[in-house]
A and B are shown apart, each in its own frame.
Chain A
Amino acid sequence: GAVVSQHPSRVICKSGTSVKIECRSLDFQATTMFWYRQFPKQSLMLMATSNEGSKATYEQGVEKDKFLINHASLTLSTLTVTSAHPEDSSFYICSARAWGGSQGETQYFGPGTRLLVL
């Protein structure tokens, strides 16, 4: 299957700083990538849809100025958590959409980034 990477895998930062998370599709091009947030023992919550070359589409309740998304190329999307606070601590996961013939579309997920804000 297709491979999606995330970097960093784990980050600890001080309150008030900004953190950038990268999501890369390694062996395919993705015009659309997605950013999710996952709290312990819960399912994934979609934050935003990242579209290559255009503005991201944010889900209701997600602050676009807080979570900056840039999708500058067909293989890279970045999520920047600005002025991070302890409540932003979470597991952030990206996915990239791929198209596979009879299977239609499939989302492949990155390994996730654990963010801890002190």
Chain B
Amino acid sequence: TQLLEQSPQFLSIQEGENLTVYCNSSSVFSSLQWYRQEPGEGPVLLVTVVTGGEVKKLKRLTFQFGDARKDSSLHITAAQPGDTGLYLCAGARAAGNKLTFGGGTRVLVKP
């Protein structure tokens, strides 16, 4: 059982549709990060959230950190083919701790 559960595991949508990826845990995290990874490349950091209830926007991407700092979501509005990739959430239980990764959500946006 993973400490961080991501859902869904795979998502296939048409260009222009919206999507949401969830990252859930029974544990509290001091910070949580979202990454996007494309095949054959390393993960690229999208955002770091540290405050419960925090909402951050990055163009068409909206990230939310749960009030209890146990869960997070990533919402993409009007998805584009360039949004295709593996989305990973990762959390640190405390400052200075190693990151725990979720299982990843593979997103495919069809033109």
Contacts and interface: CB of A to CB of B under 8 A. Distances in A.
Question: Are A and B genuine complex partners?
Answer: yes
A98 B45 CA distance: 12
Contact of A105 (B41, B43, B95): B95
Contact of A111 (B33, B42, B101): B42
A108 B45 contact: yes
Contact of A46 (B30, B31, B98): B98
B43 A103 contact: no
Contact of B42 (A41, A43, A106, A110): A110
Interface in B34-51: 35, 40-45, 48, 50
B42 A34 contact: no
Contacts of A95: 42
A72 B92 CA distance: 25
Contact of B106 (A41, A44, A93, A104): A41
Interface string A84-118: 00000001010100001011111111111010000
B42 A112 contact: yes
B107 interface: no
A49 interface: yes
B21 interface: no
By size class, the interface of chain A is 20 to 34
A60 interface: no
Interface in B83-106: 88, 90, 92, 95-96, 98-99, 101-104, 106
Given A43-B88, A44-B88, 16 more contacts: A4-B42, A34-B98, A42-B104, A43-B101, A46-B98, A93-B42, A102-B50, A103-B50, A104-B95, A105-B31, A105-B92, A105-B95, A107-B45, A108-B45, A109-B35, A111-B41
22 contacts: A4-B42, A34-B98, A43-B88, A43-B103, A44-B101, A46-B99, A95-B42, A100-B48, A102-B50, A103-B31, A103-B48, A104-B30, A104-B31, A107-B99, A108-B45, A109-B35, A109-B43, A109-B45, A111-B41, A112-B40, A112-B41, A112-B42
Interface of A: 1, 4, 6, 34, 41-44, 46, 49, 91, 93, 95, 100, 102-112, 114
